[in-house]
Amino acid sequence: MLRFLSTGESHGQALIAVLDGFPAGVQIKIDQLNKELQRRQQGYGRGSRQKIETDSAELLSGVRHGTTTGAPITFMIKNRDFENWQYVMSSAPVDSSAPEAAAQFEKKKIGRFRPGHADLAGTIKYRQKDIRDVLERASARETASRVAAGALCEQLLAHLGVEMISHVISVGPVASTLKSDDLPSSDLRQRIEQSEMFCADADATERMKEFIKKAWQDGDSVGGVVEVIAAGLPVGLGSYTQWDEKLDGQLAQALMSIQAMKAVEIGDGVRSASLPGSQVHDALYPNEGGNLPFKRKTNHAGGIEGGMSNGSPLKVRVYMKPIPTLRKGLESLSFPEFEAETAHYERSDVCAVPAASVVAKAMVSIVLARALLRKFGSDTFEDIKEAVDRHRQRCQSIPQRNTVPATDDEESLEMEQE
């Protein structure tokens, strides 16, 4: 089973992650992985931290001469800013005989909660004496690990004919009028790469930037919506047999685990709740000579029915709330006194929605790679590809009746009945 674990703090020495269960024999391009890490740092509205860090992943194990070995893949992303935080984030006890170290430690202590962040619940849960112990791990800096792991999974999916795209469709009330279905994937991808907002709609990009600029001037922050598309998935990833095997449930859990995400939508899920069934469900039609024996004219289901991929492109949207660290002081409480105060402020982004689109694609890639390995599981990429190809060939030539050849006794019984 594909498993992903990460560790590290926002201002610690590095982020380290392990991707276990990844098959042997997959050709890995580290430059593509690092490109995704760089994209996570881009986007209009990012804070000054992105000018300090130049994220790149160092592969420590599981890849030899550009090819995965089947062993756990370990990678490290160093925090360049750690040199400014060595005293504060040191694993050694505070040395009271070193005044400079003790002073820096005290200066960086956090004693005011930020509403909307993990501060309050995390401090109480782990009985912390300094809110920073929560902030450092709960920070969205952790998503760099997700992007690196997701980039590896995306490369596996690409080798198996699955194309991944993510883009921003709205920031605050400013929404793109261009739908992903309006353009071929190559054109859609090109438009996204040309946009500072990772939005395919050039006009919406400029309006989004103006909205973000106004929020920055007001000391506020903004959220938005991103969409992830996966085209070319085999039919039948996931399962209807148990609640935790459903693909849409796994996607929702993975996407909701991203910092600041508050809702997930598969296909036209939200709009579908207010429409009659005749306008929601995707009718089926014969598809002679196609890759599948059926076709659809719509994709309201977003590529998932009954918890399984159904042959249509997967479409999932995730909704990001405004970042809870903002210059405009929110009413809050001090810690440990719990007296009236304004919320703590530490350098942050005004808008991280473009970055969220990169993180969301990474998480979807991890879930899809795990589901694909569960269905076609093997230790080597070569065997997995053969299994996927056989499955697609079977789907292309599914007989009208799924029958098992009759035995001699069954043939005799059929003749008697006739």
Question: pLDDT for 310-327, tens place per residue?
Answer: 999 999 999 999 999 888
**Does residue 418 have a pLDDT over 60?**
no
CA distance 413 to 60: 65
pLDDT at 417 exceeding the cut of 60: no
Q: Do 344 and 112 meet the contact criterion of CB atoms below 8 Å apart?
A: yes
Task: Identify the burial level of 138 via C-beta atoms within 10 angstroms of its C-beta, where 0-12 means exposed, 13-18 middle and 19 or more buried.
Answer: middle
- Give the per-residue pLDDT at 51: 58
Amino acid at 369: A
Rounded-to-integer distance, Cα 74 and Cα 92, Å:
25
Number of H helices, E strands in the chain: 13, 17
CA distance 45 to 188: 22
Tokens 């007296």 map to which residue?
339
In a domain, 381, yes or no: no
CB 83 within 8 A of CB 67: no
pLDDT of residue 308: 98
Tens of pLDDT, residue by residue over 143-179, are 999 999 999 999 999 999 999 999 999 999 999 999 8
Task: Give pLDDT, residue 53.
Answer: 63
Query: CB-based burial of residue 224 (10 Å sphere; 0-12 exposed, 13-18 middle, 19+ buried)?
Result: buried
At residue 103, the pLDDT reads 81
Q: Is residue 413 a part of any domain in this protein?
A: no
**Residue 375 · residue 368 · CB < 8 Å:** no
Average pLDDT over residues 244-266: 98
CATH number at residue 214: 3.60.150.10
The answer as to whether 384 is a domain residue is no
pLDDT of residue 99: 78
The pLDDT, as a whole number, for residue 334 is 96
For residue 229, pLDDT over 60 is answered with yes
The count of other CB atoms within 10 Å of the CB of residue 336 is 12
Structure tokens at 332: 């809050």
For residues 114-129, give the mean pLDDT. 96
Taking only the tens place, the pLDDT of each residue in 370-411 is: 999 999 988 999 999 999 999 999 998 775 444 445 454 444
- Nearest-angstrom CA–CA distance, 92 and 108: 16
In sequence order, what are the residues at sequence separation of 6 or more whose Cβ sits closer than 8 angstroms to the Cβ of residue 364? Answer: 150, 164, 166, 228, 230, 251, 254, 255, 314, 316
* Assigned token pair, 244: 């935790």
CA angle in degrees (0–180, nearest 5) for 122-128-132? 75
Q: List strand residue ranges (DSSP E) for 248-367, in order.
A: 261-266, 285-286, 294-295, 304-305, 308-309, 314-320, 331-333, 340-342
* CA dist., res. 312 & res. 302, Å (int): 7
In degrees, rounded to 5, the angle at the alpha carbon of residue 268 between the alpha carbons of residues 265 and 270 is 60
In a domain, 382, yes or no: no
Answer yes or no: is 356 within a domain: yes
| Any domain includes 386 | no
Q: Does a structural domain hold residue 400?
A: no
User: What is the mean predicted confidence (pLDDT) over 212-231?
Assistant: 96
Q: What is the mean pLDDT of the chain?
A: 92
Range of the domain at 291: 3-95+109-376
| Under 8 Å between Cβ of 30 and 64 | no
Bridge-based pairing of strands 224-231 and 163-171 is antiparallel
What is the pTM for the complete model shown? 0.92
**Considering its fold, how many domains does the chain have in total?**
1
Residue pair 266/301 in contact (Cβ under 8 Å)? The answer is yes
Answer whether residue 36 is part of any domain. yes
